[in-house]
Structure 1
């Protein structure tokens, strides 16, 4: 046994325990009885304490000084271990456990406040979550930018200033495209009510079509759809709406994009530091390209129309192009997760700006609702009608995911780059999608991105797949071309 072997044995056990901790979170969202929330908080804190102790083990200094990387895989594992160790040792164990405990309980408080449309009921808990994350960010930053230190948890190497510049380049063309579309007649909407069991059955069919491996996963229902796990146990959740089956179908496809990334990492990397998605931005690129560039393409929409009619009967639309417009409908709305491709990033940019000011202390938690409502009215041109459509709609801040939101838009940018490269490599892609054949596209993404896990950095992963550094231009060009054709601009 070499020093590297000792280090990797420790890392594999740590990764296995982290998967168990993740399963606690999955259970809390799907099956845990409501009365168990306080106990689950203590369980999560205890697990975080164990993980923090392993991640800051006193042997790491010697291990990292003596371990030798024999190949690219070993070099990448050492990079990830060193990065995790350097971050973990800056955060006191007591603080790490308290964050886990508070955010576990906060999730239930948020859900109840959201259901009751009661922002005030959530604010004391949110104040505590923000304060804890500020404390953690200060420990990590060690005098540097606190928000960047938190962002680095989700997108290693990214910085708020760089993202601000990228978002500044996105905004003008997105706003202009939205204005042009909203000046046109709106497409027809689906008609009728859609049986929940039928929605779930079709969503399972679509998951399989997009290569989700049910022998290593499962689909359950949750308030906020998510994906959990890696390797041989990757679970997704979805939700249903009796008048909007697209919510179920496209939420499922989106989460299957995340799940496919985790399921398709090279099995040799299982339970190692590189045996998972490299960042949330790259992760989001997979979910967004599955959901939007592939599943919302006019070609695939034509195939889906047939399956919708087979499943639900008369849905109020028979023309494939009209159905494609319905799938890609651009309209005013409050909810980020239900937003169309044109406006989605505007929702993300708003949250990015708000959470930066929360972390810096320039925005007090008690003033969040007013700040949200003012910014929403300025960006979208109409007023928030209730908290569940406003600052209580997302689960992220309740569970302490400060720095996470910008990775959604970064993922869209990455997806734009990947889509351009995919089409260049597969000129017959539309013909495949029109047959409901996703195998070529999903195989390309598996080979170009997913199998590598965290072997490369986020930007290197996208550059290797596309042959060029990430840029917002392919995403903007794709959106303008697609929606100009759909709306006859």
Structure 2
């Protein structure tokens, strides 16, 4: 006899599979889709989103949830996720969900063209439309509460803006002080020369495998904005190349491998279920950041990477591994969040977090956004934005409606700081292994203590279980101040 729980899980499995197809459409749009297909693709994505939204709020789901009995921790977690999704979908009108999908699909192309032309005015009307739709959605979800908090739940369940504001408020002054002190000290050498882009891609695929990325269930392609897509047995990543900056390709790849490894390492029993994906974007970002920074930019690993760079590109002017480590971690002036060093990265995120909260609550109009961005940037970084593509137009996120997403980048860095502290205690010879290009102990610890659980636990709970203590900003700040203090002789 089929139970209500069995019926619900069979139905949910099909919904999850359709969601994966929607994700594949997004991957294709960013990698191989012909430019002329954009309008048609927006209709396809909108139609599929309508189907998904209808499935998520199907009345049968409510009936099954009322009758289903959980006989295990996994079953309880499944019901928690399904109930959360059903309640959310039931609050958002179907026509609003479909209009959001259609609008953001088209908006992405308009943003890309405006960015290429450094023309914020050309994008502003579209952003106003996206913002209006997301405000409507936030209001529907909030039930009289804070719409921004309601939107935040899409990316970090259980988090609140007030909580994050307190954590970020503790980070910002020490990061600004560290930035000012470091930039006042003599800088390490900068990488110069030209680096063959095909050789960069070859090296990036080798490094992806070094960090445990299973190429039989994934692939590495190029895109304007690197990303990871999919879960389970089809997890794809993209990177980008610049002949003058191979680090962009290498570390974008390691970053996205962190995301992809999380998805590939989730227990196969959870495939195409609500537990079969990363539990939140903050936890997801913790994996990409610890792979990229605490592991990939460590003195031990960069010693190994230096040899790989010489093999791939020949003599590139930095012959000493210690000097190479300093170059990899060079703190530098710049405008682009994704190209920022560890010291300044979170300042970029905090700027966006504060501005998008004001846009959602109505205290900042789109017409005033560019000026507000430029003013805040100069206050935190000490120099003015030179053009919109280096400022308010640099990120794709707002064009696709991801209000509430940016906060998870810094939250992920905070989580990564905590995980790194616990990892060092668990693997005392970590540096010796990384120096040999062996990441298996580190990635294995992350797999066993965090990644395999997928959505089984709530976000903060899975971090606390892995670390043995409640997450806070303290380990991240201690790590940054010690690392860059040593590099810059502070």
TM-score w.r.t. the length of structure 1 is 0.99
User: Which residue in the other structure is 1:411 paired with?
Assistant: 412
1:367 and 1:228 map into 2 onto residues whose CA distance is 34
User: Which residue in the other structure is 1:275 paired with?
Assistant: 276
Aligned residues: CA RMSD: 0.6
**Equivalent position SS for 1:235:** strand
User: Which residue in the other structure is 1:252 paired with?
Assistant: 253
Matching of residues 289-438 of structure 1 within 5 Å:
289-438=290-439
Q: Deviations over 1:5-52 (max 9, x none)?
A: 000001000000000000010000001111111111110100000000
2:263 and 2:270 map into 1 onto residues whose CA distance is 11
Whether the 8 Å CA contact 1:227–1:259 is kept in 2: the answer is yes
**Equivalent position SS for 2:400:** coil
User: Which residue in the other structure is 1:28 paired with?
Assistant: 29
List runs of 5+ in structure 1 lacking aligned partners: none
**Equivalent position SS for 2:397:** coil
2:441 and 2:183 map into 1 onto residues whose CA distance is 35
- Cα shift at 1:286: 0.1
Whether the 8 Å CA contact 2:176–2:380 is kept in 1: the answer is no
1:143 aligns with 2:144: yes
- Cα shift at 1:173: 1.5
Matching of residues 13-162 of structure 1 within 5 Å:
13-162=14-163
List runs of 5+ in structure 2 lacking aligned partners: none
1:167 aligns with 2:168: yes
2:282 and 2:389 map into 1 onto residues whose CA distance is 26
- Cα shift at 1:191: 2.1
Whether the 8 Å CA contact 2:232–2:263 is kept in 1: the answer is yes
**Equivalent position SS for 2:187:** coil
User: Which residue in the other structure is 2:235 paired with?
Assistant: 234
Whether the 8 Å CA contact 2:16–2:274 is kept in 1: the answer is yes
Q: For structure 1, which segment, 106-115 or 281-290, has the greater mean C-alpha deviation from structure 2 after superposition? A: 106-115
1:354 and 1:255 map into 2 onto residues whose CA distance is 26
- Cα shift at 1:60: 1.7
Whether the 8 Å CA contact 1:4–1:67 is kept in 2: the answer is yes
**Equivalent position SS for 1:75:** helix
Q: Which aligned runs of 4 or more in structure 1 are off by greater than 4 angstroms? A: none
Whether the 8 Å CA contact 1:189–1:316 is kept in 2: the answer is no
Q: Deviations over 1:155-209 (max 9, x none)?
A: 0000000000000111121112112111111110112100000000000000000
1:153 and 1:367 map into 2 onto residues whose CA distance is 27
1:488 and 1:374 map into 2 onto residues whose CA distance is 32
**Equivalent position SS for 1:237:** strand
- Cα shift at 1:73: 0.3
User: Which residue in the other structure is 2:188 paired with?
Assistant: 187
2:368 and 2:432 map into 1 onto residues whose CA distance is 52
**Equivalent position SS for 2:442:** helix
Q: For structure 1, which segment, 84-93 or 179-188, has the greater mean C-alpha deviation from structure 2 after superposition? A: 179-188
TM-score w.r.t. the length of structure 2 is 0.99
Q: Deviations over 1:74-130 (max 9, x none)?
A: 000000000000101000000000000000111111111111111111111111100
